[in-house]
Amino acid sequence: MRQLMSRFLCVASLFYFIPTAALGWSTPVAISPLGDTGTSIPRIAAASDGRVFATWRRKSPDWRLFYRERSSSGAWGPVETVSVPWSERPDIIQDPQGRPHMFYAGTGAGGKTDLFEAIRYSTGWVCTQFTNTDTIDEDYPKLGVDSLGRMHLVYTKNNNVYHRMWNGSWSGETYLGQCENAYYHRPDLSVAPDNTIHVTWENRSTFYYRKFNGSTWLPTQVIGTTTNFFAYGKIAAISSTHIVAVTFDQLTSAALKWTCSTDGGATWTPLAYLNDGHYPSLKACGGKAHLVYQWAGSNCIGYRQWDGTAWSAAQRATPDTRWQGWPDVAVDIQGDVHVVYDDDSSELDQIYYVCSAKDNIPPQPVAGFVAAASDQTVYLSWTNPGDLDFAFTKIVCRTDRYPVSPSDGLVVCQVSTAPGSPSSYIHRQLTNGLTYYYAAFAFDTSSNWSASVCASAMPYVLSCFDAKQMSDNLWVRLTNKVVTLVYSASGYAYVQDPSRVSGIRVSGSFAGITVGDVVDVEGYLGTRFLSGLPSERQIGNATVTKKGSATVTPVAMQCRSVGGGPAGPLVPGVVGGIGTNNIGLFVKIAGKVTAKLNDTIWVDDGSNILDPSGKTGILVKCPDSNIPANIGDIVSLSGVVEGSIPVGYPGNRRQIRLGSYANLRIYR
């Protein structure tokens, strides 16, 4: 018994692998014998050992119930006869002893409809009359089992709804409420993982709900109303808090509506339209609710799942043939979804079966795979494929050739982000000068992998000039750069190569960083736009690490050379710029102060540079308005060439940012 209970608890728990919304489906197979007439009302249950139980009834010649079992390997056993005539409307579960266990409606000795219990022992089926009344019809049984090994049964007596519990023996019945027409308004039952019991039933215009909290049945609640006609209400408790209910509502067409509770059934959302459809069946398994139904306006079975927050998109679980209806659903321990339904596509009313087939279709490859080298690092970036069942991207590398499979080489990373989203990874602690060959493989939830997309990179020590030639949004690592300007309050600084070849703007946090520090910089390349135009390259969201200190020496130049020309398509120069691009570099100029305004002076060395303001000279931004130099003074100054585009001007003006008045010398 302990072993059986252990297997049962596995089924009752939430720890299933549940497939994603986009399922593949097997080819339908008929599981009822050809030639039977009026086969319908199939039910299905998944066992803890991978077996699947299916039952149904046939009308002619004798209104019997039949059973068929699918092994854990997928093989269907023989059709077994369960009951004597007249039998109808079965429900089936795996009981705490691991056996197929059924309740169904049958005609007893009194001539009225009674409930019968059927258990499959090793020697075959044993059927017992469960109720025996001369004046009352007991019908529409629905079964559930909890993790404590107790079975639960709800059913109708005429138009009243009752509950019984088995805990070694069956309890007496508990009255739950009244339905209007038992055929349409039959009860449904779901056992939550915390062993609370959730029951729904209906009348023409009202959707009812009750909860058993383990010791007491709570008062009846109305969870939906309609001015039309309710039928076939279903419920699924996917957790102790999240419960969903679905009902058919006869509008101008067949419509399914739904409501849910996220507080254990205390309150419910307003009843809302889900989709057109008929004959819903709903099961909770693995933290999700699985819904099957007759697809409205078509001849197929629809499938959706609810994860506690939203419904998956509707999909067709079966081909569009002839009339299909009365589906039922179960999910096994592997997460495969099993569906049975009534199909008269052969005009012989057979019971058909489909399951979520093993997906062997690989996802699309990743897009835009880039390997960008920096000092001892390679930044890998890509965009995931849009496949709904995409799971992760795996990148492997070699140093002699490109990998040909996900297992051919060193695993660099395995990144799980949303389908269609951009992703990235930084491969660190690499050897400069050695080429790394990468292959990216997209995987889906069925472990299929895509064709590879390849890229290679050779890590090396980047100069600021090298970094400025790289595309926006690439991650970059600069090492041993010298800080030339810090504006912590504004969140930016400038660094340059020790060789003074090039400099670049850096945005980020600079606590403890001062001019003259030797630093490593990591961040994402971008372009600074001013007045709607590209002004200068920069590294954003930067991490700056201090490593030492150095003397900051400017590059002396004439005013006409400040800014320089463009350096390729990504690096703007200044309007009318000549010579090497030096935006971002720490430079020194000398000349006469030609104008002064607030925190700005203009300095000219005879180059007669005309500023967009109409003033002559290079615009110099000072730390504040307390500028010690005046118009007519001869000065020399050192500062960083920065981007500056006035509104309406076609590009950068020549501008220097003075970080400290210590870098301003006045000769009068």
Q: Is residue 70 part of a domain?
A: no
Q: Is residue 574 part of a domain?
A: yes
Of 368, 371, 358, give the one whose Cα is nearest residue 425: 371
Domain identity same for 221 and 184: yes
* End position of a domain, from candidates 403, 426, 457: 457
Q: Give the tokens for residue 418.
A: 């949303």
Q: How many whole angstroms from its chain centre is CA 428?
A: 28
Could you give the CA distance from residue 660 to residue 484 in angstroms, rounded to a whole number? Answer: 11
What integer pLDDT is reported at residue 21 of this predicted model? 44
CATH number at residue 427: 2.60.40.10
Q: Is residue 154 part of a domain?
A: yes
Could you give the CA distance from residue 219 to residue 57 in angstroms, rounded to a whole number? Answer: 36
What integer pLDDT is reported at residue 552 of this predicted model? 95
- Cβ-based neighbours of 597, under 8 Å, separated by 6 or more: none
Q: Helix or strand or coil: residue 6?
A: helix
φ, ψ of residue 35 to 5 degrees: the values are 110, -25
CATH number at residue 538: 2.40.50.200
Please compute Rg for the chain using Cα positions. Answer: 38
CATH number at residue 161: 2.120.10.10
Of 119, 103, 112, give the one whose Cα is nearest residue 43: 103
Q: Is residue 92 part of a domain?
A: no
Domain identity same for 284 and 384: no
Domain identity same for 383 and 350: no
pTM for this predicted structure: 0.56
Q: Is residue 362 part of a domain?
A: no
Q: Is residue 100 part of a domain?
A: no
Could you give the CA distance from residue 517 to residue 503 in angstroms, rounded to a whole number? Answer: 14
What integer pLDDT is reported at residue 14 of this predicted model? 29
The DSSP line for 26-65 is PPPEE-SPTT-BS-EEEEEEE-TTS-EEEEEEE-BTT-EE
Q: Is residue 427 part of a domain?
A: yes
Yes or no: say if 386 and 450 are a contact pair by the CB < 8 Å rule.
no
- Cβ-based neighbours of 15, under 8 Å, separated by 6 or more: 286
- Cβ-based neighbours of 250, under 8 Å, separated by 6 or more: 228, 229, 231
Yes or no: say if 274 and 260 are a contact pair by the CB < 8 Å rule.
no
* Average pLDDT, 10 consecutive residues per value, the chain (668 residues): 31 34 77 88 96 94 93 91 92 97 85 92 95 89 96 96 97 96 95 97 96 96 95 97 96 85 97 94 94 92 95 92 92 91 76 84 94 97 90 97 97 95 97 98 90 97 96 95 94 96 96 96 97 97 96 96 97 96 98 97 97 97 96 97 97 97 94
Q: Give the tokens for residue 90.
A: 């079965």
Q: Is residue 436 part of a domain?
A: yes
Domain identity same for 277 and 175: yes
Q: Which domain holds residue 11?
A: 2-37+131-329+336-357
What integer pLDDT is reported at residue 3 of this predicted model? 33
What integer pLDDT is reported at residue 18 of this predicted model? 38
What integer pLDDT is reported at residue 127 of this predicted model? 96
What integer pLDDT is reported at residue 626 of this predicted model? 97
Domain identity same for 525 and 616: no
Q: Give the tokens for residue 127.
A: 């059927």
Domain identity same for 259 and 141: yes
Q: How many CA atoms lie within 13 A of 631 on its CB side?
A: 7
